[in-house]
Amino acid sequence: AQSVTQLDSQVPVFEEAPVELRCNYSSSVSVYLFWYVQYPNQGLQLLLKYLSGSTLVESINGFEAEFNKSQTSFHLRKPSVHISDTAEYFCAVRGSSNTGKLIFGQGTTLQVKP
Amino acid sequence: KAGVTQTPRYLIKTRGQQVTLSCSPISGHRSVSWYQQTPGQGLQFLFEYFSETQRNKGNFPGRFSGRQFSNSRSEMNVSTLELGDSALYLCASGEPGTDEAFFGQGTRLTVV
């Protein structure tokens, strides 16, 4: 069985400041790791994913996440946030076997203030 | 390519009624998964269908059921609605090997 813990339910930050959203997971098997973003009244959009290979993955809008197997973490970071980054962020895991089932963390609300 | 389409977007039902939600996946995708999102429980996996067969099931009562048609469109049904079933129901489609789930905008169900 897998589980995901997002350590912060809300993260307030000023515009142009750096931010880190923390995610830890638990699994007895190899997993794929994902970060999704959800804007109000919308579905989920994939931000980035780790499947294998380089432990540092990046998105097109400046976010990055690093897979740390020893600490079972997949923290999301951005060096300088914008107002438009205000949203809810979900960390998720999926067993590397052929399944679409995702296990999500409880979510972190990122509030970017001007 | 059109995205994942969920209908209806909003729904209000009375306790005790039943409801059917629809999901049309991205063309070519054979996997469809359903999730329930509530403020208290977060995002919880309901079930996954692949090529018309249920492949995985979450921990929900038997009142929650689903099916998938030969064109990969999926429906989920909730019978004997309870107030606690009020939630955003999200559908995601995917294809083995792509490693990514594409989500629809969801159906907001309110049970009164």
Instruction: Find the mean pLDDT for residues A10-38.
Output: 94
Q: Do B33 and A102 touch (CB under 8 A)?
A: yes
Please state, in angstroms and rounded to a whole number, the distance separating the CA atoms of residues B67 and B69: 7
Omega before residue B8 within 30° of 0, cis: yes
Chain B residue with Cα closest to A50:
B99
Higher pLDDT, A65 or A1: A65
The alpha-carbon gap from B74 to the nearest alpha carbon of chain A, in Å, equals: 15
Chain B residue with Cα closest to A3:
B44
Q: Do A51 and B42 touch (CB under 8 A)?
A: no
Q: How confident is the model at residue A98 (pLDDT cuts 50, 70, 90)?
A: low
Cβ within 8 Å of A, B 2-31: 4, 31
Residue B100 is predicted with a pLDDT of: 83
Q: What number of CA atoms fall less than 13 Å from residue B82's CA on the CB side?
A: 5
The alpha-carbon gap from A44 to the nearest alpha carbon of chain B, in Å, equals: 6
Which position has the token pair 């018309």? B52
Residue A97 is predicted with a pLDDT of: 66
Please state, in angstroms and rounded to a whole number, the distance separating the CA atoms of residues A6 and A22: 6
Q: Would you say residue B22 has pLDDT above 90?
A: yes
Q: Do B35 and A102 touch (CB under 8 A)?
A: yes
Q: Do A43 and B4 touch (CB under 8 A)?
A: yes
Q: Would you say residue A40 has pLDDT above 90?
A: no
Q: Do B45 and A90 touch (CB under 8 A)?
A: no
Burial class (CB in 10 A: 0-12, 13-18, 19+), A58: exposed
Burial class (CB in 10 A: 0-12, 13-18, 19+), B93: buried
Nearest to B56 among A41, A42, A99 (CB): A99
Greatest Cα pair distance in chain A: 44
Strand order in the sheet with B5-7: B5-7, B19-24, B74-78, B64-68
Q: Which residues of B touch A98 (CB under 8 A)?
A: 96
Residue A51 is predicted with a pLDDT of: 86
What residues are paired with B105 via a beta bridge? none
Please state, in angstroms and rounded to a whole number, the distance separating the CA atoms of residues B40 and B83: 13
Contact B99, A102 (CB under 8 A): no
Cβ within 8 Å of A, B 34-63: 35, 42-45, 48, 50, 55-56, 58
Q: How confident is the model at residue B33 (pLDDT cuts 50, 70, 90)?
A: very high
Q: Would you say residue B12 has pLDDT above 80?
A: yes
Contact A99, A38 (CB under 8 A): no
Contact A78, A91 (CB under 8 A): no
Q: How confident is the model at residue B109 (pLDDT cuts 50, 70, 90)?
A: very high
- Degrees (nearest 5) of the Cα angle B69, B71, B74? 45
pLDDT digits (tens, 9 = 90+) for B46-97: 999 999 999 989 999 999 999 999 999 999 999 999 999 999 999 999 987 7
Q: Would you say residue A104 has pLDDT above 80?
A: yes
